[in-house]
Amino acid sequence: MASRSEDDLCCPVCQEVFRDPVILSCSHSFCKDCLKRWWRKKTTHECPVCQRRSSGNDQLVNLALKNLCESFLEDGDQTASEALCSLHSEKLKLFCLDHQQPVCLICRDSEKHTNHSFRPIDEAAQQHKKELQETLESLKKKNKEGYHKFYVFKFFKFKFSIL
């Protein structure tokens, strides 16, 4: 079986693994809450991806996707708790800030990592997650600004075409 990519299991609105996924008649899926929030901001119920109109009642629970996401998240939890060093078969408990990679306690004391700085792996993961979220928010803002400019351009193009 092909491996599931996290990207394939992400909601296009929140960019997270689907939570309570629903599917619209256009076949696009979203987290139930993300779709509700999206529609609250809009005057019409339309798909956030293709802008196809929806009655608002045509969203169905995407049970297959829900099961895939739950399985993916369970597999991820197991993998994270069982992550072992390929050199020493020890748990990866630290993150080497110099090499930007997880290491075990034996690796930390090795010559390769002499005078390096380390953080507990959970702390480093939280820091990286925070940085990624900040970058994502910045990109979302730029994307939103780009959409605004595009629609202003379309408006003026239309306005000048009727003159």
Buried residues in 137-155 as b, exposed as e (16+ CB within 10 A): eeeeeeeeeeeeeeeeeee
Q: For residue 142, what are the CA distances in angstroms to 41, 68, 136?
A: 19, 32, 10
Region 130-154 average pLDDT: 83
> What is the residue range of 25's domain?
1-81
CATH number at residue 17: 3.30.40.10
> The whole model's pTM is what?
0.46
> pLDDT tens-digit profile of 96-133?
999 999 999 999 999 999 999 999 998 998 999 999 89
Question: Do residues 73 and 6 both lie within one domain?
Answer: yes
Work out how many domains the chain is built from and give that number: 2
Question: Do residues 139 and 129 both lie within one domain?
Answer: yes
Question: Do residues 71 and 102 both lie within one domain?
Answer: no
